[in-house]
Amino acid sequence: MSQWVSLPRFGGQGEARAGRRKTKPMETKETKVIKRRRIFDEAFKREAVALVLKGEKSLPVIADELGVNHWALREWKRRFGPAAPENSKEALELELRALRRENEHLRTQRDILKKTLGILAEPGPNGSPS
């Protein structure tokens, strides 16, 4: 499937010595023809992501079977995969409530520790700290 094109090449600047330049006759070198970038429609991308999310095969295997780069398939998964629940309003409100409860609990613990430290720092009956 690969095609080769023969193009002439010229000697480079690496041949210069003491201000004099040696020239080489034209050389030919075979160069590989570059494939054009393929464009996939959104439906194809979504179907590919569905195959990945199904979990029957690994992402690189699916990418190889579909003839796409595995990094492109990873990007499609990030873009078209299931939306993260933490972005929803309900999830954010739940997290806020949990953080407020935790904050209140930590404040209570801090206050108890302050009182305990105050009690321990008081001088004992013989004048030394307990």
Q: pLDDT digits over 48-98, tens only?
A: 999 999 989 999 999 999 999 999 999 999 998 886 555 678 888 889 999
Global confidence as pTM: 0.41
Q: Say whether 6 sits in a helix, a strand or coil.
A: strand
pLDDT given for residue 121 in this prediction: 86
Residue 126: which pLDDT band, with cuts at 50, 70 and 90? confident
Largest CA distance in the chain: 105
Q: Say whether 8 sits in a helix, a strand or coil.
A: strand
pLDDT given for residue 86 in this prediction: 55
Residue 2: which pLDDT band, with cuts at 50, 70 and 90? low
Q: What is the DSSP letter of 12?
A: -
